[in-house]
Amino acid sequence: MKIRIMGLLLPALLLAAEITAAEAGSRQIREVEDAIEIIHEFTKIPENRIPPSLLRNAQAIAVIPGVIKIGFVFAGNYGRGVLSIRDKYGYWTNPAFITLVGGSIGWQIGAQSSDIILVFKTMKSINDITAGKFTLGADASVAVGPVGRQAGAGTDFELKSEIYSYSRTRGLFAGISVQGAAIEMDYDGIADFYDNTQIGARDIFETPDLKAPQVAADFRQVLVEQTRR
């Protein structure tokens, strides 16, 4: 009887395992797909785009889709996204997963969420992020990013800051203040996406042939296309 029951249960258990494996990393895959779409949106309209010269010299790019504002009296902000860097050979790496928490993000009135891109000019900030918690504005200078061919009012004209921030809120594109927001590595997201609980951000950044879902290659290709112009 026990053998018969096990015979019936085994296929069900195997099916459950297959479903779990298929679902693992699905959230992260959607995040990378959203990041690809956001990069396209931020770069397709000349007057609203991130300046090509800034992208050409970027050492890292973070994309955080759908950052939400939490609370009213004691408001905070939260979002998940991806981070890619240029490796020592100048190639864009597979995405690592990050979270953005807190800070005084410059929300528009009535906004529910905002897509955010951060452009890093140096690797110092990335080293700090992978080492632990990193706060924008405190651990590195961050400025509202210039838009289009000319910098708008309130931006850093000489591009002296380490990080530049951009947002899309309610269909509008602009630079955005992210002072005080903290960036942390999302190790659970990394483990799910790469199906490896032992992998860390440095492993991603230093292993070009790391096994990853196809969407990782799609993300790298978009970065190549947008940062070589």
Q: How many CB atoms lie within 10 A of CB 18?
A: 10
By CB atoms closer than 10 A (0-12, 13-18, 19+), residue 157 is exposed
pLDDT of residue 140: 85
Provide mean pLDDT across the span 147-153: 56
pLDDT digits (tens, 9 = 90+) for 133-144: 788 888 888 888
pLDDT digits (tens, 9 = 90+) for 53-72: 889 999 999 999 988 776 55
Confidence of residue 8 (pLDDT cuts 50, 70, 90): very low
pLDDT of residue 158: 59
